[in-house]
Structure 1
C-alpha cells in the first residue's frame, strides 16, 4: 500500500515536472519565433495616426499663412490712365480669349496705383472716372490680397491693384463677338439672350481679338451713326496709325449705322456695327463695366437675328 502510494506520488511528480518543462519550452520557442502582428492603421493627414501604427505623418511647424505682398509707394509724376493709350509695361492678359464670363467689376474710389504684378512696380494710377464717366473694370484674377483687372485704354493687358481704394459689384452680362461668322451674342448669367449679325473691321484695321469691357456711353457725333448712342470699349485699334487721322486716339466702339447694307462684312475701322434696334436694346439692358470678348468663333454657334 505504501509502495503504491509512493508510486502514485512519484508518477504525479514526474507528470507535474513534465508539464512545467513543456510550458517553459513553449515560452522559449514563442519568444524566438516571429510573432504574427495585426497590420498597423494607416496614417491620416487630418488627425494623429493610431497608436498601433509604426509610421507617423511628419509635422511641419515652419509653415505659416502666405503674407500679402506689400505695395511699393507710387513715385512722383506717375501718369493717370485716361482715354489716351495706357502706359506701357503692364503684363499681358494670358487668358484673353477665354469666354468664361467675368462676374465681378471693380470701381476705384480714389486714384489708386496700378502695378505690373503683386508687390511689383507701380506704372500708373487708375482714377474713379475717365472723361467724366465712372470707371468699372472687370476683375480677372485674385492673388494673396491683390486683384487683377482689365486695363482701360489698352488691348489684352492687366493691371494689378493692392488692397484698398476700390469697391466691387456683381456683373451679370457679357458680350461675345465672333469675327468669322460676324456675330455678336449677349449673355446674361451665362445664358444666351440674343444674337445679331454685325459688321467688323476691314483688313489692316481688324476688330482686336481678346477681352475688353464697356467703358462708357457717348452721343453719336454724326448722323451716319444712326442717331443712337455709342458704347466705347476699353480696347483701342491694334494699329493706331492705320485708322484715318480723324479717328486717331479713338477707342473701339459698338454702334449702329445709318443703314444696314454692310452687315456681315468687314468694312469698319475696327468698330462693331449692328442694327439701330439691337444697339438700343444693348444700351437699355447691358450696363458699363460689362466684359466683352472678341474671338474668331465659338464652338457652338447661337442663333442669329438682325
Structure 2
C-alpha cells in the first residue's frame, strides 16, 4: 500500500511506500563492505577559458517573458538528451546559479526555461558535463538523462570530489572520491515496470525521514524522475527518484522499490556525512570491463 505524505520545501521522493518533504541536512558514520574497481578521475575543475580572438561564440538569444522556472515538478520539454548517459568518468565540477539564468537547448539555441539559485529554498548545484566555446552544459534537475546549455555569466563553479555509481545487475552502490573507491554496499532497486532509471543524475538535496520505516535516517532526493510516469502509483505522481535506507535490510539485492535506491542505514549515514548536493550519481547495468 502507498501511504501519502504532505508536500514541503522541495516535494516528493519516489520510494516504497512514501511521498516525502525536502530540506537540507546531514548525518554521520560507517563501515567498509567490499572492494570496487579503481577508475581514472577526470581532470580537476578549471575556470571557463576566454575564447580566442578567432573563435566565434554562438550568441545567447534573450529569454522571452513568461519562460517557466525549473522547480521540483518535471522539467519542461525540449531539452537535449545526455549524449553519454552511461559514461562513468567522474564529473568533477558543478555550478550554482547566482541569479535566474536562461537554460538553452543548444549553444546559441532556443531558451527553454529558467534556472534559479534555489529550488524551493534548497541551493541548486548541477554537474558540468561538457563545454563548448562560451557555453557550458549541465545535467538538468527534475529530468532524467537531459542536459541544458548555459552561456557565460550568472553562475559560479563548484568543485565536486565524489561520485556514486549504482550497478543494477549486481545490486551494488559504490562511493568514489577523486576516482578512487571508498566503500561499496548492496542495494535494492526498482521493481519490474518501475526500474531504477539508467544514466547520470545528481543529488538534489536531502529530507528528514517522516516515518520509522526509513530507519530514522535522512533521505537523498535525486535530480532524476521515473522513466514511466504513468506506472507510478497515484500518491507518488510528480515524485523524484530517491536514495534512502529502510527499517530492515531484508530486501537488499532485490527489485522491490518504486524506482528508489535503498541501502543500509550505516551506508546512508556515511553518504549524508560525506557527499554534498550536486554530487553525480550514475546508474548502469554493469561497469565496463577494465
Separation (CA, whole Å) in 2 of partners of 1:110 and 1:119: 20
Matched, 1:68 2:60: no
Secondary structure of 1:267's aligned partner: strand
1:64: how far off? 6.2
Task: Indicate which of 260, 263, 278 corresponds to 2:252.
Answer: 263
1:251: how far off? 0.4
Instruction: List 4+ stretches of structure 1 deviating above 6 A.
Output: none
Separation (CA, whole Å) in 2 of partners of 1:300 and 1:191: 16
Q: Equivalent residue for 1:160?
A: 149
Separation (CA, whole Å) in 2 of partners of 1:150 and 1:132: 20
Q: Equivalent residue for 1:39?
A: none
Secondary structure of 1:252's aligned partner: strand
Q: In the TM superposition, what are the counterparts of 1:170-181 in structure 2 within 5 Å?
A: 170-181=159-170
Secondary structure of 1:66's aligned partner: coil
Q: Equivalent residue for 1:232?
A: 221
Q: In the TM superposition, what are the counterparts of 1:1-306 in structure 2 within 5 Å?
A: 65-299=54-288
Aligned length in residues = 239
Q: Equivalent residue for 1:5?
A: none
Separation (CA, whole Å) in 1 of partners of 2:102 and 2:221: 24
Secondary structure of 2:95's aligned partner: strand
Q: TM-score by structure 1 length?
A: 0.77
Structure 2: runs of 5 or more not aligned: 1-51
1:221: how far off? 2.4
Separation (CA, whole Å) in 2 of partners of 1:93 and 1:221: 34
Secondary structure of 2:240's aligned partner: coil
Of structures 1 and 2, the larger Rg is shown by 1
Separation (CA, whole Å) in 2 of partners of 1:125 and 1:152: 12
Q: Equivalent residue for 1:27?
A: none
Separation (CA, whole Å) in 1 of partners of 2:178 and 2:156: 21
Q: Deviations over 1:250-290 (max 9, x none)?
A: 10000000010000000000000001111000000111100
Separation (CA, whole Å) in 2 of partners of 1:64 and 1:169: 27
1:131: how far off? 1.9
* More helix by percentage: 1
Separation (CA, whole Å) in 2 of partners of 1:86 and 1:300: 34
Separation (CA, whole Å) in 1 of partners of 2:102 and 2:289: 40
Separation (CA, whole Å) in 2 of partners of 1:294 and 1:127: 26
Q: TM-score by structure 2 length?
A: 0.81
Separation (CA, whole Å) in 2 of partners of 1:73 and 1:85: 24
Separation (CA, whole Å) in 2 of partners of 1:248 and 1:131: 18
Separation (CA, whole Å) in 2 of partners of 1:300 and 1:67: 40
Q: Does 291-300 or 178-187 show the bigger shift?
A: 291-300
Separation (CA, whole Å) in 2 of partners of 1:292 and 1:298: 14
